[in-house]
Amino acid sequence: DTEVTQTPKHLVMGMTNKKSLKCEQHMGHRAMYWYKQKAKKPPELMFVYSYEKLSINESVPSRFSPECPNSSLLNLHLHALQPEDSALYLCASSQDLTGGRSGAFFGQGTRLTVV
Amino acid sequence: AQSVTQLDSQVPVFEEAPVELRCNYSSSVSVYLFWYVQYPNQGLQLLLKYLSGSTLVKGINGFEAEFNKSQTSFHLRKPSVHISDTAEYFCAVRHSGAGSYQLTFGKGTKLSVIP
């Protein structure tokens, strides 16, 4: 199993809603990542978890709240988002923070639209 | 710090013709290099990677890339493209040292295969 699974695939939410994005991997990877990708742009790193602990927060606004309940799961809780937060949110995982010899595996993403 | 430059934002090519997507990087330390492909409304899929050893790297879907340290390049090639190769291609670089989580992406090259 070399998959990173993200749910939902699409999400439309209002600016007052609270929603969560979910990410799951069963490759035994101990580093997991959230990226944000705007149209026609490369992915931008948001958060990095290593061994279920938050290692890196790339100055992301507090309306995005990550959570890593266990080594296989990564959530991104969303609250009071703005229309400019609409984007493709990608989850990735790697063996550890060095990436190992396999590099990072990405999920298919959640297409988020904030209305 | 490291950076990646993908010189062409768009590359149109006729079906069954060869293609080369260019990638140059800058870094003061040794790096690992990656090419990812992103099909419309999809996540990123790893095409190939260079970690060490042979400078010619073969990946999936008939793609290959050559690492040239003196020219700090990692160009992606395919001898004969297919319609299904139409996608966005991202070159990425990562510092090869410990704790080097940061995957730096180029801005992407949109490959359009013309029937």
| 3-class SS of residue B1 | coil
Considering CB atoms only, which of A6, A48, A103 is closest to B34? A103
What pLDDT was estimated at residue A99?
A: 64
Query: What distance in Å separates the CA atoms of residue A4 and residue A74, rounded to the nearest whole number?
Result: 11
Å between A101 CA and nearest CA of chain B: 7
How many helices (H) and strands (E) chain A has is answered by: 0, 11
- A101 to chain B: which residues are within 8 Å by CB? 51
Q: Which residues pair with A54 in a beta bridge?
A: A49
Residue in chain B closest to A6 (alpha carbons) equals B43
Å between B22 CA and nearest CA of chain A: 16
pLDDT digits (tens, 9 = 90+) for B56-97: 999 999 999 999 999 999 999 999 999 999 999 999 998 877
Considering CB atoms only, which of A40, A90, A98 is closest to B99? A98
Q: How far is residue B65 CA from its own chain's centroid? A: 7
Considering CB atoms only, which of B41, B43, B108 is closest to A42? B108
Considering CB atoms only, which of B49, B90, B102 is closest to A42? B90
To test the contact with chain A by mutation, choose from B51, B101, B104, B112 the residue with the greatest count of A C-beta atoms within 10 A, namely: B101
What is the four-CA torsion angle of A36, A39, A41, A44, rounded to 10 degrees?
A: 0
Query: What distance in Å separates the CA atoms of residue B38 and residue B21, rounded to the nearest whole number?
Result: 14
Say if the Cβ atoms of A40 and B100 lie within 8 Å: no
DSSP letter at B7 equals S
Strands B109-114 and B10-14: parallel
Containing H/E element for B109? strand B109-114
Å between B107 CA and nearest CA of chain A: 5
What pLDDT was estimated at residue B71?
A: 93
| 3-class SS of residue B92 | strand
Burial state string for B25-53 with b = 16 or more CB within 10 A and e = fewer than 16 = bebeeebbbbbbbbeeeebbbbbbbbbee
Residue by residue, DSSP assigns A24-90 as: EE-S---EEEEEEE-TTS--EEEEEEETTEEEEE-S--TTEEEEEEETTEEEEEEES--GGG-EEEE
pLDDT digits (tens, 9 = 90+) for A74-99: 999 999 999 999 999 999 998 887 76
pLDDT digits (tens, 9 = 90+) for A2-44: 699 999 999 999 999 999 999 999 999 999 999 999 998 999 9
Query: What distance in Å separates the CA atoms of residue A40 and residue B47, rounded to the nearest whole number?
Result: 19
Length of chain A: 115
Pairs of CB atoms within 8 A across A/B:
59
List, as ranges, residues 64-93 from A with C-beta within 8 Å of B: 90, 92
Query: What distance in Å separates the CA atoms of residue B55 and residue B78, rounded to the nearest whole number?
Result: 16
